[in-house]
C-alpha cells in the first residue's frame, strides 16, 4: 500500500504553476480560424428570417453555419431528442444557438455574430416553474413535463394514521451557475483523410464523440475526441460541450480549417446549463419518539428549455428523497417542467444537494416539534447494516452513515454548543447527513463500465490511459497512484495520458463520482494480466517460480532467496522475449434489480455516506451570515490521496456556501441579469469557512482497495447544514435558499411580528 492513503502531490501540478498547461483557449494551430455563436435574444418564438447582409462583406468573415449546413442529424439531446443542434424553426430560450459565424479572428467572429439580424414571431414565454407546471398556453415540447419519477413503498396513508405527529414543509432551492473559471471552449480539426479531431474542455469525451458523429453523419471511428486539461467543470462540461463541439465540427468540415470557439463569460452564463431549481414539499409522519413512519414527498424542478440530463437528476432526487433514513411508507414523486429558461443540466450532486436540503430541513422541523436533539433524531432513523433504504434496497455496507454522524458530533463539540443568544450576533449550529448512490444507477447500469490501458515500456516505466477525465478534481493523480500500486512500479515512473477516445473503449461519462471505483477497478483488471507476464518473466530471470516473485515500487524480488533485479531489467527481458507488455482492463458495475414503475430496488451499486456540522454567526443588523466552520465527515471507503480528499471537501464547502448564501442568479424575461462575478457572488478568500475534513474508511466491497469517490458527496450536505445552523441562530425556519441578508432580515421581521414558524407544521391527532 505504499502509494495509497497518503498525500501525493498532483502529477499535473508543474504545468499549472508554470503556466505551461495547454488549456483549450490556449491552443493555436496553423490555419486556425475562429467561431462564435449567433444565439436567440428572445425566450420563445419562431424564426421568420435571418438577415446576413451586415456580415457577408465584412473583412475577416469566412462563413456562417446554419441548421441547413449540418450534414447529419440536427439533434444534440443526450437522453431525450428534444434539442436541435442549431435552431431552425423555434427558439426556446435566450441563448438558443441558431448559427456559428466563422472568421479570421475571435474578435471578428464575435462582433459579426452580434450583427446577424434574426427576425422572430414571438410567443408568450414560460418564465417560471409555476408557469411550466400550469402548462397553459403554448408548450415548448409535446408535454410541459420534461420527465417524472417515483419511488413508492408501503402504505403512506396508513403510516400517517399511525403517526403521533405529521410535519409538513416546503423547501426551495435556486439555480446555480457552475462558474468554472475556464469558459466553454473547443477546437475542431478536420483531418486530411476526412475524419475530425476535437480538443476541448469537456468531461465526457464519448458523449462528444457521439454528438459529433451524429451531426456530421460520420462513423465514430473517424471522430477522435481529446479532453484537454480542464479549467473546472463541476458538471457544467458534461452535456454542454457536445453542443459546442458538434457545431464547431460542422464549421470545421465546411471551411476545411481548424475552428476554435471560446465563449465569453457573459454568454457562457446566459447560454449554458445550471443546477436545477427545486421546489420540494415534504409531509412526514413520526411517532412520539421521533421514528419516521411515513413520508409523502413532491419534488418539482425547473428543467429549462431542453431536457438534457433532467431525467438523471429527477431519478436521483426521487431515490434519495429521504436520504439515509429508514422509512417504510414512502411516496416520493419527482417531476421536471420545461420553461423558456437556460436548460438545467448536470451539476455536482445531480439533484442530491437539493433533496438533502429538503430531508434535512424537515428533520430539523421534526426535531424542533418534538424537542429532540437534531443529531439524536437522525441517529435514531439512520439506516444500519441489513436495513432497507426508503427506495427499497437492502444495504449491508452502510455503517458509515452512523459513523460519520457520531464522529462529526464528537469532533465538532456539538454537545457543548451554546445557545444562540439574543444579541446582535447570534451563533447557530446545524447538522446534515446524506447518502449518495455511486455510478449511473439502475437506469444506466448497462452503460456503467469503464476502461484503463496499461503499457509497460522497455525501461520499466508505465504508460496509463483511462477513459474518464480530470477536470481539476485530481483524477489523473489517483489514476497514477492506483496504477503504480497495482503494477508495482515507482510512482515517478508512471505517466498518465490525456484522455482520448482513441485510447480505451467507450467508458461513459466522467460523472457521478465514478472515477475512483470504475477506473481503479479497470486498472486492477489490466494489472492482473500485465503482472502475470511480469512475474512469469521474472521467474525465468530469477530462476524461481512466478508465485515467489514480488514486484513492488520498481523492485523485483525472489521472496525466498531475496535476490533482486531492477524493474528496468525485467521490462527489457520481457521485450526481447516477445512478451505482451500491454493490457486493457475493464470494469462494469454489477447488474441492478430495480422496479422502475415503483422506483424500488437496487437503485445504485454502492452508496457513500456523509455527515456535516456547520457553525454560523448571523449579524441581525445587516442580515449577513458568516459560516465559522464546517466539520465534514465522509465515509469514502479508502482515501487514495488524502490531500486530494481534503481539497475536494474544502472546494465543495466553498461551492455550496455560495449556493446557500450568496449565489443569487437573477433573470428578467429569460435573460440572466447576474452574468458576471460582480453580480453573481462567489465565495472569496475572506468569506470562506474553516473546514475540518474527517475521513471515515468503511471499506467498499466493490471499490478498488475498498475506495469510493468523494467529489459529489462532499457538496451534498453543506447547504442544508448551513440552513439548519441559521435556523438555529435565528429561531426561525429558513426554508429557502440562498439565505441572503435581505431574507435574513425579512425572517427576523416576521419573527418579531409573531409569525414564527407557523404554517409549516401540523400536529396530527392520531396515536
Partner 1 sequence: MMRLSGEPAYFDLEVTVNGRPYRRTVTTHRRLLDFLREELLLTGTKESCGEGECGSCTVLMNGLAVNCCLVLAVEAQGAEIVTIEGLAQGGTLNAVQQAFMDCHAVQCGYCIPGMILAAGQLLESQPRPSRQEIESALVGNICRCTGYHKIVDAVEQAAGGGA
Among 34, 92, 110, 409, binds partner 1 (CB under 8 A): 110
Among candidate residues 275, 348, 328, the one with its CA nearest the CA of residue 158: 328
Q: Tell me how far, at minimum, the Cβ of 650 lies from partner 1, in Å.
A: 3
Q: Is 26 in the site for partner 1 (CB under 8 A)?
A: yes
Question: Contact at 8 Å (CB) between 215 and 72?
Answer: yes
Q: Tell me how far, at minimum, the Cβ of 636 lies from partner 1, in Å.
A: 17
Three-state secondary structure call for residue 493:
helix
Question: How far is CA 25 from its chain centroid?
Answer: 23
Q: Tell me how far, at minimum, the Cβ of 629 lies from partner 1, in Å.
A: 12
Which positions from 193 to 232 touch partner 1 by CB under 8 A, shown as an x/- string? ------------------------------------xxxx
Q: Is 663 in the site for partner 1 (CB under 8 A)?
A: no
Q: Which is nearer to partner 1, 113 or 156 (CB)?
A: 113
Instruction: Looking at residues 468 to 527 of the shown chain, list those that interact with partner 1 (rule: CB under 8 A).
Output: 471-474
Residue 90 cell numbers, joined: 423555434
For cell 454489477, the residue is 590
Q: Is 183 in the site for partner 1 (CB under 8 A)?
A: yes
Give the residues across from 437 on adjacent strands.
607
Q: Is 58 in the site for partner 1 (CB under 8 A)?
A: yes
Three-state secondary structure call for residue 565:
strand
Q: Which is nearer to partner 1, 455 or 654 (CB)?
A: 654
Span from 282-290, 335-343, 405-413, 642-650 in contact with partner 1 (CB under 8 A): 642-650
Which positions from 444 to 473 touch partner 1 by CB under 8 A, shown as an x/- string? ---------------------------xxx
Q: Tell me how far, at minimum, the Cβ of 499 lies from partner 1, in Å.
A: 15
Q: Is 682 in the site for partner 1 (CB under 8 A)?
A: yes
Span from 104-112, 157-165, 445-453, 582-590 in contact with partner 1 (CB under 8 A): 104-112
Q: Could you count the other beta carbons within 10 Å of the beta carbon of residue 81? A: 11
Q: Is 234 in the site for partner 1 (CB under 8 A)?
A: yes
Using CA atoms, how far apart are residues 209 and 480, in angstroms rounded to an integer? 25
Q: Is 572 in the site for partner 1 (CB under 8 A)?
A: no
Using CA atoms, how far apart are residues 22 and 16, in angstroms rounded to an integer? 9
Q: Which is nearer to partner 1, 16 or 222 (CB)?
A: 16
Q: Tell me how far, at minimum, the Cβ of 183 lies from partner 1, in Å.
A: 7
Q: Which is nearer to partner 1, 215 or 714 (CB)?
A: 714
Question: Contact at 8 Å (CB) between 56 and 127?
Answer: no
Among 88, 264, 490, 550, binds partner 1 (CB under 8 A): 264
Question: Contact at 8 Å (CB) between 226 and 246?
Answer: no
Number of amino acids touching partner 1 (CB under 8 A): 67
Torsion angles phi and psi, residue 627, rounded to 5:
-90, 115
Cis peptide before 139 (omega within 30 of 0): no
Question: Contact at 8 Å (CB) between 190 and 244?
Answer: no
The angle at the Cα of 206, spanning 454 to 591, to the nearest 5 degrees, equals 80
Among 2, 22, 137, 746, binds partner 1 (CB under 8 A): 22
Among candidate residues 283, 267, 245, 302, the one with its CA nearest the CA of residue 39: 267
Question: Contact at 8 Å (CB) between 748 and 742?
Answer: no
Residue 88 cell numbers, joined: 431552425
Strand bridging mode 292-304 / 329-338: parallel
Q: Is 324 in the site for partner 1 (CB under 8 A)?
A: no
Using CA atoms, how far apart are residues 52 and 115, in angstroms rounded to an integer? 8
Q: Could you count the other beta carbons within 10 Å of the beta carbon of residue 137? A: 12
Q: Tell me how far, at minimum, the Cβ of 547 lies from partner 1, in Å.
A: 39
Rg of the chain over Cα atoms, rounded to whole angstroms, equals 27
Q: Is 10 in the site for partner 1 (CB under 8 A)?
A: yes
Q: Tell me how far, at minimum, the Cβ of 695 lies from partner 1, in Å.
A: 15
Q: Which is nearer to partner 1, 111 or 447 (CB)?
A: 111
| 574-to-346, 489, 503, 527 alpha-carbon distances in Å | 45, 15, 23, 15
Among 212, 244, 538, 691, binds partner 1 (CB under 8 A): 691
Q: Tell me how far, at minimum, the Cβ of 639 lies from partner 1, in Å.
A: 13
Residue 356 cell numbers, joined: 438533502
Q: Tell me how far, at minimum, the Cβ of 679 lies from partner 1, in Å.
A: 9
Q: Which is nearer to partner 1, 115 or 551 (CB)?
A: 115
Question: Contact at 8 Å (CB) between 516 and 676?
Answer: no
Q: How many residues does the chain have?
A: 767
Span from 88-96, 526-534, 565-573, 671-679 in contact with partner 1 (CB under 8 A): 671-679
Q: Tell me how far, at minimum, the Cβ of 22 lies from partner 1, in Å.
A: 7
Q: Which is nearer to partner 1, 105 or 580 (CB)?
A: 105
Q: Is 532 in the site for partner 1 (CB under 8 A)?
A: no
**Helix H or strand E encompassing 657:** helix 642-657
Q: Which is nearer to partner 1, 14 or 559 (CB)?
A: 14
Q: Is 710 in the site for partner 1 (CB under 8 A)?
A: no
Which positions from 28 to 47 touch partner 1 by CB under 8 A, shown as an x/- string? x-------------------
Using CA atoms, how far apart are residues 534 and 524, in angstroms rounded to an integer? 14
Using CA atoms, how far apart are residues 106 and 267, in angstroms rounded to an integer? 14
Q: Could you count the other beta carbons within 10 Å of the beta carbon of residue 387? A: 16
Which positions from 585 to 614 touch partner 1 by CB under 8 A, shown as an x/- string? ------------------------------
Which positions from 67 to 96 touch partner 1 by CB under 8 A, shown as an x/- string? ------------------------------
Q: Which is nearer to partner 1, 180 or 278 (CB)?
A: 180
Span from 448-456, 607-615, 645-653, 750-758 in contact with partner 1 (CB under 8 A): 645-653
Residues whose CB falls within 8 Å of the CB of residue 436, separated by 6 or more in sequence, listed in order = 320, 349, 352, 513, 607, 608, 609, 610, 712, 713, 716
Question: Contact at 8 Å (CB) between 722 and 642?
Answer: no
Residue 339 cell numbers, joined: 420553461
Using CA atoms, how far apart are residues 178 and 184, in angstroms rounded to an integer? 11
Q: Which is nearer to partner 1, 334 or 655 (CB)?
A: 655
Question: Which parts of this chain interact with partner 1 (CB under 8 A)?
Answer: 7, 9-10, 12-23, 25-26, 28, 58, 105, 107-108, 110-112, 114-115, 178-183, 229-234, 264-265, 471-474, 643-644, 646-647, 649-655, 676-678, 682-686, 688, 690-691
Amino acid at each position: 500500500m505504499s502509494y495509497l492513503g497518503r498525500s501525493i502531490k498532483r502529477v499535473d501540478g508543474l504545468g499549472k504553476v508554470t503556466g505551461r498547461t495547454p488549456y483549450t483557449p490556449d491552443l493555436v494551430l496553423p490555419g486556425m480560424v475562429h467561431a462564435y455563436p449567433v444565439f436567440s435574444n428572445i425566450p420563445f418564438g419562431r424564426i421568420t428570417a435571418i438577415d446576413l447582409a451586415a456580415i457577408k462583406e465584412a473583412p475577416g468573415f469566412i462563413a456562417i453555419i446554419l441548421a441547413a449546413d449540418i450534414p447529419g442529424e440536427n439533434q444534440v439531446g443526450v437522453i431525450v431528442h428534444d434539442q436541435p443542434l442549431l435552431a431552425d424553426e423555434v427558439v426556446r430560450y435566450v441563448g438558443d444557438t441558431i448559427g456559428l459565424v466563422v472568421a479570421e479572428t475571435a474578435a471578428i467572429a464575435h462582433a459579426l455574430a452580434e450583427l446577424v439580424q434574426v427576425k422572430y414571431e414571438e410567443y408568450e414565454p414560460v418564465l417560471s416553474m409555476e408557469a411550466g407546471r400550469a402548462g397553459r398556453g403554448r408548450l415548448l415540447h409535446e408535454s410541459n413535463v420534461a420527465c417524472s419519477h417515483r419511488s413508492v413503498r408501503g402504505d403512506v396513508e396508513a403510516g400517517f394514521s399511525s403517526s403521533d405527529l405529521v410535519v409538513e414543509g416546503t423547501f426551495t432551492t435556486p439555480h446555480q451557475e457552475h462558474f468554472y473559471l475556464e469558459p466553454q471552449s473547443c477546437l475542431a480539426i478536420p483531418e486530411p483523410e476526412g475524419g475530425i479531431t476535437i480538443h476541448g474542455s469537456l468531461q465526457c469525451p464519448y458523449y462528444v464523440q457521439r454528438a459529433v458523429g451524429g451531426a456530421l453523419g460520420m462513423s465514430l471511428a473517424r471522430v477522435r475526441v481529446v479532453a484537454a486539461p480542464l479549467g473546472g467543470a463541476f458538471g457544467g462540461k458534461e452535456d454542454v460541450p457536445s453542443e459546442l463541439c458538434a457545431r464547431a465540427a460542422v464549421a470545421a468540415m465546411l471551411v476545411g480549417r481548424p475552428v476554435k470557439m471560446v465563449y465569453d463569460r457573459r454568454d457562457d452564463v446566459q447560454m449554458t446549463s445550471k443546477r436545477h431549481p427545486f421546489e420540494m414539499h415534504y409531509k412526514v409522519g413520526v411517532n412520539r419518539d421521533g421514528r419516521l413512519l411515513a413520508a409523502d414527498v413532491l419534488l418539482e424542478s425547473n428543467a429549462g428549455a431542453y431536457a438534457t440530463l433532467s431525467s438523471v437528476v429527477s431519478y436521483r432526487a426521487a431515490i434519495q428523497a429521504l436520504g439515509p433514513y429508514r422509512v417504510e411508507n414512502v411516496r416520493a414523486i419527482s417531476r421536471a417542467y420545461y420553461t423558456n429558461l437556460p436548460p438545467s443540466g448536470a451539476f455536482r450532486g445531480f439533484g442530491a444537494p437539493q433533496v438533502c436540503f429538503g430531508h434535512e430541513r424537515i428533520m430539523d422541523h421534526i426535531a424542533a416539534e418534538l424537542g429532540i436533539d437534531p443529531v439524536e433524531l437522525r441517529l435514531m432513523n439512520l439506516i444500519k447494516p441489513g436495513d432497507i433504504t426508503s427506495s427499497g434496497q437492502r444495504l449491508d455496507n452502510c455503517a458509515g452513515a452512523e459513523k460519520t454522524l457520531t464522529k462529526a458530533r464528537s469532533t465538532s463539540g456539538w454537545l457543548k454548543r451554546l445557545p444562540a443568544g439574543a444579541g446582535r450576533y447570534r451563533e447557530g449550529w446545524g447538522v446534515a447527513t446524506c447518502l449518495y448512490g455511486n455510478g449511473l444507477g439502475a437506469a444506466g447500469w448497462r452503460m456503467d463500465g469503464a476502461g484503463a490501458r496499461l503499457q509497460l515500456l522497455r525501461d520499466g516505466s508505465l504508460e496509463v490511459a483511462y477513459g474518464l477525465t480530470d477536470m481539476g478534481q485530481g483524477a489523473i493523480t489517483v489514476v497514477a497512484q492506483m496504477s503504480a500500486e497495482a503494477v508495482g512500479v515507482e510512482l515517478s515512473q508512471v505517466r498518465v495520458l490525456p484522455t482520448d477516445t482513441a485510447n480505451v473503449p467507450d467508458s461513459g461519462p466522467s460523472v457521478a463520482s465514478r472515477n475512483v471505483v470504475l477506473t481503479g477497478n479497470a486498472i486492477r483488471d489490466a494489472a492482473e494480466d500485465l503482472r502475470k507476464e511480469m512475474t512469469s518473466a521474472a521467474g525465468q530471470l530469477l530462476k524461481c517460480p512466478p508465485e515467489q516473485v514480488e514486484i513492488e515500487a520498481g523492485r523485483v524480488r525472489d521472496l525466498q532467496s531475496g535476490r533482486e533485479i531492477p524493474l528496468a531489467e525485467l521490462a527489457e527481458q520481457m521485450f526481447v522475449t516477445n512478451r505482451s507488455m500491454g493490457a486493457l482492463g475493464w470494469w462494469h458495475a454489477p447488474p441492478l434489480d430495480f422496479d422502475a414503475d415503483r422506483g424500488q430496488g437496487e437503485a445504485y451499486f454502492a452508496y457513500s455516506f456523509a455527515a456535516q456540522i456547520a457553525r454560523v454567526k448571523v449579524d441581525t443588523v445587516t442580515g449577513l451570515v458568516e459560516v465559522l466552520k464546517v466539520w465534514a465527515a465522509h465515509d469514502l471507503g479508502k482515501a487514495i490521496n488524502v490531500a486530494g480528499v481534503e481539497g475536494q471537501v474544502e472546494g465543495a464547502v466553498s461551492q455550496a456556501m455560495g449556493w446557500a448564501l450568496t449565489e443569487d442568479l437573477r433573470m428578467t424575461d429569460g435573460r440572466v441579469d447576474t452574468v458576471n462575478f460582480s453580480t453573481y457572488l462567489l465565495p472569496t478568500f475572506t468569506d470562506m469557512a474553516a473546514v475540518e475534513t474527517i475521513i471515515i474508511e468503511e471499506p467498499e466491497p466493490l471499490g478498488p482497495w475498498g475506495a469510493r469517490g468523494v467529489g459529489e458527496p462532499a457538496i451534498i450536505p453543506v447547504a442544508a447544514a448551513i440552513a439548519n445552523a441559521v435556523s438555529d441562530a435565528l429561531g426561525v425556519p429558513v426554508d429557502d435558499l440562498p439565505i441572503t441578508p435581505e431574507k435574513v432580515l425579512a425572517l427576523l421581521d416576521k419573527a418579531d411580528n409573531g409569525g414564527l414558524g407557523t404554517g409549516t407544521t401540523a400536529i396530527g391527532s392520531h396515536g
